[in-house]
């Protein structure tokens, strides 16, 4: 494939695809409807507004230029205030393609570029033709050059080292390699698009496709709604039928007194129906947004394709993945299911980006852990056996449950002492017990949810009872190690080890909660030593990174 | 080993639980270069002055709410005038006087072989270890009050969001020297461990 005219990929400043006008128009359908209505009432005002909107759109289109330089993507835009945005390749974390309904009608895609250090999406190209978008994504996420080769020589895809890829057979087929090509810094005058398209490494292997029925299960067991629904189902089974009938029967009554027992019952029934409605909607939403969820991989990137109406194609290079997390909430744990997320710096979790961090919305336990292991390059299979925290961590949780129960009992006791006669005192004991028993069960669960292990190049930590999160961190992604102790932990001789990685601003760092204080400190030192002075194996990768930069050593899935 | 004796442990002890080879790497850990250091003692005065300012500001606000100056009286009617603001001043003043003493006792930092080591915290105590290899940039900061005392703050950043470590209460000249030293550190990648 060769391109007759130099395009944006060859450094030529280019407008967006003209279809972007249609995309913006379709996305602005609401305002257009408003204008039409207005036009019906006050024709002049409506026409004026329409003219302004159309003019703005056209100006925005005319002012917008983007181009790909060897080491950066450059976007010029702005109607009144002109902006130039230079997104350097080494800062780019992920490139996501999105096709909403309007894009589909017009046959274009939107490209979103997420970069480190940005609050939201750093670069957005609202409409690009699909082939260009694909090539752009490949170039932007392509392997950077090794040490010695200048960054600016981005017209060749970075070469790969057989040791690093773990796929020696494929690597030998590659025509270009760092060792064969002197890093002279000269520009290769070959259109970027044609070269990237010919490159054999773009072959994508489909790893998993999630069938629709699985997505229904995902929706039914996902998040808080799933847990709440399970509780409701439990209630339906345990509460006698006539209770419900009574509640429903009184629904017809006008203005129920909320203080009466019947009134409360009606409210409860209504609330449960609202919950069921929400549950149903959430299942439908999950199925739609994750429709045809496909996880694929190349040697350097992971790709996710999903969505029924709005199609997403998200791509994350392995070397940008900071950590991988397996999520198993209570319901899913019972069913032997889980989900996998990645932690990528710079990809904001804000609006429009929900779920972009999901590698698999639902999967069987062994499958989910296999993906997590492969992505971080940890050999073996299944959930790694984790070390338990010391007994004191369990005591701490039991004490917490006791205190919570005591507080509730004390509050009930105050009410009883103030208002009711002595025959109500057993109620205090009931209150205490009814908080204590589930509290203790949660405490035990929370303790069992805690765990840690050190696999040399990888650390695995887990916590959580209602939603157990098992996080896999690679040593070479760690930025700062911190042990901390709050006063309660101090009492029990416990400490938390925080494993700080580059992550979205709002995300939380992986941590090992409630280790023994001793162990936490020793572990911190042992890990810090491996980070500060990498082992022989990771030293190869380090040579490819700027001295003080983030370690961007190659991170490939295990073979 | 108690948490409070950790500083000694960090610098000298390299022992590991018997039968657990996981910790064996700790054994040949280098000594802290120069050992852990305290902040400049002047930092206490700096913190006290800062605390005095907080006390004045918070006490003034409380007094306004208490006496109903410029704003409607916000304190329940039953309370005698002045009680609320006195309480606020006593609490804030106590923290401002005692806090710096504890914080100063607690603060230690060390430039170790491979990393910057910082211990701090009054209620939530923590030890941060920031490998030099991960440093992105290093700043010194000096506010107007700190300038009066000739103090400056060293701030280090890694790729992790936010500030990764700060060392307040350094002599201004020394902070500069430390900054330059950290900024020009070349990670020792050559010799295998």
Q: So what's the ipTM on this one?
A: 0.77
Question: Residue B172 has which token pair?
Answer: 């201004």
Beta bridge pairs of residue A162? none
Instruction: Label the pairing between strands A358-364 and A494-501.
Output: unpaired
Residues of A whose CB is below 8 A from B164: 479-480, 500
For the stretch B130-148, pLDDT in tens is 998 888 888 999 999 999 9
Question: Residue A304 has which token pair?
Answer: 């996710």
Three-state secondary structure readout of A292-332: CEEEEECCCEEEEEECCCCEEEEEEEHHHEEEEEEEEEHHH
The answer, for B19 touching chain A at a CB cutoff of 8 Å, is: no
Does the residue A127 lie in any domain? Answer: yes
Distance CA A133, CA A95 (A): 10
- As for how many domains chain A has, the answer is 2
Indicate the length of chain A as a whole number.
559
3-state secondary structure of A193: helix
Segment 153-172 of chain B within 8 Å of chain A by CB: 158-162, 164-165
**What's the confidence (pLDDT) of residue A12?**
83
Q: List all residues 6 or more positions away from A85 whose beta carbon is below 8 Å from its beta carbon.
A: A74, A75, A76, A77, A122, A123
**What's the confidence (pLDDT) of residue B189?**
45
Distance CA A314, CA A96 (A): 4
Provide the CA A285 distance to its chain's centre, in angstroms.
17
**What's the confidence (pLDDT) of residue A238?**
62
Distance CA A283, CA A361 (A): 12
Residues of B whose CB is below 8 A from A347: none
Q: CB contacts < 8 Å between A and B, how many?
A: 129
Does the residue A464 lie in any domain? Answer: no
Distance CA A279, CA B124 (A): 40
Does the residue A119 lie in any domain? Answer: yes
**Among A168, A203, A238, residue at a domain's last position:** A203
> Are B156 and B131 in contact, with CB atoms under 8 Å apart?
no
Nearest residue to A360 via CA among A370, A347, A346, A348: A370
Does the residue A365 lie in any domain? Answer: no
Task: State how far the alpha carbon of B36 is from the alpha carbons of A315, B10, B12, B26, in Å.
Answer: 45, 9, 11, 18
The answer, for B176 touching chain A at a CB cutoff of 8 Å, is: no
**What's the confidence (pLDDT) of residue A401?**
93
3-state secondary structure of A450: coil
Sign of CA dihedral B45, B50, B51, B56: positive
**Among A203, A233, A261, residue at a domain's last position:** A203
| Longest CA pairwise span in chain B (Å) | 74
Is B124 close to A485, i.e. CB distance below 8 A?
yes
Does the residue A507 lie in any domain? Answer: no
**What's the confidence (pLDDT) of residue A199?**
47
**Among A151, A181, A203, residue at a domain's last position:** A203
Segment 10-69 of chain A within 8 Å of chain B by CB: none
Residues of B whose CB is below 8 A from A345: 159, 161
Q: List all residues 6 or more positions away from A431 whose beta carbon is below 8 Å from its beta carbon.
A: A408, A409, A412
Beta bridge pairs of residue A328? A468
3-state secondary structure of B49: helix
Residue A57 belongs to what H/E stretch? helix A43-63
Question: Tokens 């603001």 appear where?
Answer: B85
Is A547 close to B125, i.e. CB distance below 8 A?
no
Is A480 close to B128, i.e. CB distance below 8 A?
yes
Does the residue A551 lie in any domain? Answer: no
Give the residue from B133, B188, B193 with the most A CB atoms within 10 Å of its CB, the best one to mutate: B133
**What's the confidence (pLDDT) of residue A243?**
63
Beta strands (DSSP E) in B38-124 are: 108-111, 115-120
What is the number of helices (H) and of strands (E) in chain A?
19, 19
Does the residue A145 lie in any domain? Answer: yes
**What's the confidence (pLDDT) of residue A384?**
93
> Are A18 and A142 in contact, with CB atoms under 8 Å apart?
no
The answer, for B90 touching chain A at a CB cutoff of 8 Å, is: no
Minimal CA separation from B70 to chain A, in Å: 39
Minimal CA separation from A481 to chain B, in Å: 5
The answer, for B60 touching chain A at a CB cutoff of 8 Å, is: no
Q: List all residues 6 or more positions away from B121 whose beta carbon is below 8 Å from its beta carbon.
A: A484, B106
Searching chain B, which residue's CA lies closest to the CA of residue A505?
B161
Is B160 close to A518, i.e. CB distance below 8 A?
no
The domain of A422 spans 391-448
Is A526 close to B127, i.e. CB distance below 8 A?
no
Q: What is the pLDDT along chain A (559 residues), one digit of tens a residue?
A: 444 566 788 878 888 998 888 888 888 777 777 777 777 777 787 788 888 888 988 999 999 999 988 888 999 988 888 888 888 888 888 888 999 888 988 899 999 888 876 556 778 899 999 999 988 988 888 754 433 333 333 333 333 333 333 333 333 333 333 333 333 333 333 444 444 444 444 578 898 999 999 998 888 887 655 556 666 666 666 666 666 566 555 555 555 555 566 667 778 888 888 888 888 888 888 888 899 999 998 888 898 999 888 888 888 888 888 899 999 988 899 999 999 998 887 665 443 445 558 899 999 999 999 999 999 989 988 999 999 999 999 999 999 999 999 998 888 888 777 766 667 778 788 888 888 999 999 999 999 999 999 988 899 999 998 889 999 999 988 999 999 999 989 888 899 999 998 877 667 789 999 998 888 988 998 898 888 776 544 433 333 332 222 222 222 222 1
Beta bridge pairs of residue A337? A364
Query: For A480, which of B26, B164, B193 is closest by C-beta distance?
Result: B164
Question: Does the pLDDT at position B8 exceed 50?
Answer: no
Residues of B whose CB is below 8 A from A521: 6, 9-10, 127
Distance CA A290, CA A306 (A): 5
> Are A395 and A492 in contact, with CB atoms under 8 Å apart?
yes
The answer, for B16 touching chain A at a CB cutoff of 8 Å, is: yes
Is B189 close to A543, i.e. CB distance below 8 A?
yes
Does the residue A407 lie in any domain? Answer: yes
> Are A293 and A310 in contact, with CB atoms under 8 Å apart?
no
Distance CA A32, CA A57 (A): 13
Question: Residue A496 has which token pair?
Answer: 């938390």
Residues of A whose CB is below 8 A from B162: 505
Is B164 close to A493, i.e. CB distance below 8 A?
no
Residue A496 belongs to what H/E stretch? strand A494-501
**What's the confidence (pLDDT) of residue B192?**
36
């Amino acid at each position: 494939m060769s391109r007759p005219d130099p395009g944006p990929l060859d450094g030529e400043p280019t407008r967006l695809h003209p279809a972007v006008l249609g995309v913006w128009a379709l996305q602005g359908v609401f305002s257009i409807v408003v204008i039409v209505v207005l036009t019906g009432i006050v024709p002049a005002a409506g026409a004026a507004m329409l003219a302004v909107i159309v003019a703005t759109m056209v100006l925005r289109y005319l002012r917008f230029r983007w181009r790909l330089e060897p080491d950066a993507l450059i976007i010029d835009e702005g109607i009144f205030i002109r902006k130039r945005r230079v997104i350097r390749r080494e800062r780019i974390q992920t490139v996501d393609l999105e096709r909403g309904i309007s894009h589909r009608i017009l046959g274009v895609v939107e490209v979103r570029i997420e970069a480190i250090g940005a609050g939201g999406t750093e670069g957005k190209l609202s409409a690009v033709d699909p082939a260009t978008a694909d090539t752009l994504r490949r170039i932007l996420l392509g392997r950077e050059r090794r040490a010695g080769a200048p960054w600016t020589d981005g017209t060749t895809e970075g070469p790969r080292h057989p040791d690093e890829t773990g796929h020696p057979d494929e690597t030998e087929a590659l025509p270009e390699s760092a060792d064969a090509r002197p890093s002279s810094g000269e520009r290769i005058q070959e259109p970027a698009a044609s070269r990237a398209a010919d490159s054999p490494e773009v072959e994508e292997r489909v790893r998993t496709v999630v069938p629709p029925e699985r997505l229904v299960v995902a929706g039914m067991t996902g998040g808080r709604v799933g847990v709440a629904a399970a509780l409701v189902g439990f209630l339906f089974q345990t509460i006698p039928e006539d209770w419900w009938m009574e509640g429903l029967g009184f629904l017809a009554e006008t203005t129920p007194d909320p203080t009466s027992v019947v009134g409360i019952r009606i409210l409860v029934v209504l609330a449960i129906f609202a919950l069921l409605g929400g549950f149903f909607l959430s299942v439908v939403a999950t199925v739609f947004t994750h429709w045809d969820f496909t996880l694929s991989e190349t040697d350097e990137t992971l790709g996710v394709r999903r969505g029924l109406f709005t199609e997403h194609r998200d791509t994350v290079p392995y070397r940008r993945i900071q950590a991988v997390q397996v999520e198993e909430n209570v319901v899913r744990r019972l069913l032997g299911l889980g989900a996998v997320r990645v932690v990528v710096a710079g990809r904001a979790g804000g609006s429009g980006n929900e779920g972009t961090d999901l590698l698999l919305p639902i999967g069987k336990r062994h499958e989910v852990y296999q993906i997590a292991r492969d992505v971080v390059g940890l050999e073996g299979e299944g959930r790694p056996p984790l070390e338990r925290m010391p007994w004191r961590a369990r005591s701490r949780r039991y004490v917490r449950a006791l205190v919570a129960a005591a507080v509730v009992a004390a509050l009930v006791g105050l009410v009883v002492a103030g208002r009711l006669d002595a025959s109500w005192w057993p109620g205090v004991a009931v209150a205490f017990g009814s908080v204590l028993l589930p509290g203790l069960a949660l405490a035990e669960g929370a303790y069992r949810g805690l765990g840690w292990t050190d696999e040399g190049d990888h650390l695995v930590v887990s916590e959580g009872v209602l939603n157990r999160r098992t996080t896999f961190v690679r040593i070479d992604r760690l930025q700062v190690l911190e042990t901390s102790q709050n006063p309660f932990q101090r009492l029990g001789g416990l400490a938390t080890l925080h494993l700080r990685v580059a992550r979205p601003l709002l995300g939380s760092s992986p941590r090992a909660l409630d280790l023994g204080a001793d162990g936490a400190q020793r572990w911190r030192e042992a890990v810090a030593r491996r980070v500060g002075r990498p082992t022989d194996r990771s030293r190869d990768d380090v040579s490819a990174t700027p001295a003080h930069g983030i370690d961007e050593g190659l991170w490939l899935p295990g073979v | 080993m108690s948490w409070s004796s950790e500083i000694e442990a960090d610098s000298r002890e390299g022992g590991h639980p018997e039968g657990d080879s996981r910790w064996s790497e700790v054994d040949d850990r280098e000594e802290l270069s120069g050992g852990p250091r305290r902040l400049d003692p002047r930092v206490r005065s700096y913190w006290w002055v800062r605390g005095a300012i907080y006390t004045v500001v918070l006490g003034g606000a409380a007094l306004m709410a208490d006496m109903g100056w410029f704003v409607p009286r916000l304190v329940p009617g039953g309370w005698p005038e002045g009680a609320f603001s006195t309480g606020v001043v006593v609490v804030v003043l106590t923290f401002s006087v005692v806090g710096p003493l504890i914080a100063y006792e607690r603060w230690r930092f060390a430039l170790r072989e491979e990393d910057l080591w910082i211990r701090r915290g009054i209620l939530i105590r923590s030890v941060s270890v920031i490998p030099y290899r991960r440093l992105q940039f290093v700043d010194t900061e000096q506010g107007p009050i700190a300038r009066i005392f000739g103090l400056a703050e060293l701030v280090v950043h890694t790729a992790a969001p936010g500030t990764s470590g700060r060392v307040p209460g350094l002599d201004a000249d020394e902070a500069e020297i430390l900054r330059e030293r950290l900024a020009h550190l070349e990670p020792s990648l050559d010799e295998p461990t």
